[in-house]
Amino acid sequence: GAGVSQSPRYKVAKRGQDVALRCDPISGHVSLFWYQQALGQGPEFLTYFQNEAQLDKSGLPSDRFFAERPEGSVSTLKIQRTQQEDSAVYLCASSSVDLNTEAFFGQGTRLTVV
Amino acid sequence: QKEVEQDPGPLSVPEGAIVSLNCTYSNSAFQYFMWYRQYSRKGPELLMYTYSSGNKEDGRFTAQVDKSSKYISLFIRDSQPSDSATYLCATPYSSASKIIFGSGTRLSIRP
């Protein structure tokens, strides 16, 4: 596809449930980012991949959060034992390796934990 | 102190007005600065980016960086209702790494 694709667009999870969020980056983009955006706030960095290597996971808020990109393309963000404070929009972005100034974002997955 | 600070607004102006959106940053090592536009329930969309100090113009949009005061601005001329969105300033922490965002300014253009 032409842009970054995320699925599902909306997810409602019961507290304690595990969820998996998917990101399909732009073809050929080696860098992939996950961000969390709370209501009324800017995106907050979670983790960064260059190809299949996870180079920075400093933004993951707890060990309940896990991300992978096993073949250097599609990425999955997994949240275990979801809590209400995990409710947010999860954004994925991709860019060429030397051009993180031109990162392109998907539409996000809105997660609501009830 | 957040590394990129932005007035959250909201900011409401009449159609045709010149809009000024501003951010400050704390780390003098930051070199690139970006502006993203985010419509409701959409992902951020890159508007433009600038390197170091100076101005960059793209149609009705002008981005300005003043490194001496660590101040970033986005000007929108002849504002349109379709410009109503949240505007996010951002900077890469370093080359090929995370991007740091301001909290966003919500802008509304009144017809």
For range B52-64, the mean pLDDT: 91
Percentage of chain B exceeding pLDDT 90 = 71
pLDDT category, B95, cuts 50, 70, 90? low
Cα–Cα distance, A101 to A20 (Å, whole number): 28
Residue B66, pLDDT > 70, answer: yes
Between A50, A91, A102, which is nearest B43 by CB? A91
The string of pLDDT tens digits covering residues A28-84 is 999 999 999 999 999 999 999 999 999 999 999 999 999 999 999 999 999 999 999
Q: Which residues 6+ apart lie within 8 Å of A21 measured at CB?
A: A6, A7, A8, A11, A76, A77, A78, A79, A90, A109, A111
Distance from CA of B9 to the nearest CA of A (A): 10
- Cβ atoms of A64 and A79 within 8 Å: the answer is yes
User: Burial, A49: exposed, middle or buried (Cβ in 10 Å; 0-12, 13-18, 19+)?
Assistant: buried
Tell me if chain B has a CB within 8 Å of the CB of A53: no
Distance from CA of B21 to the nearest CA of A (A): 15
Q: What residues of chain B, 85 to 104, have a C-beta less than 8 Å from chain A?
A: 88, 90, 92, 95-104
Pick the more confident residue, A97 or B98.
B98
Is the N-terminal amide bond of B10 cis, ω within 30° of 0?
Answer: yes
For range B4-20, the mean pLDDT: 93
Distance from CA of A51 to the nearest CA of B (A): 12
pLDDT category, A6, cuts 50, 70, 90? very high
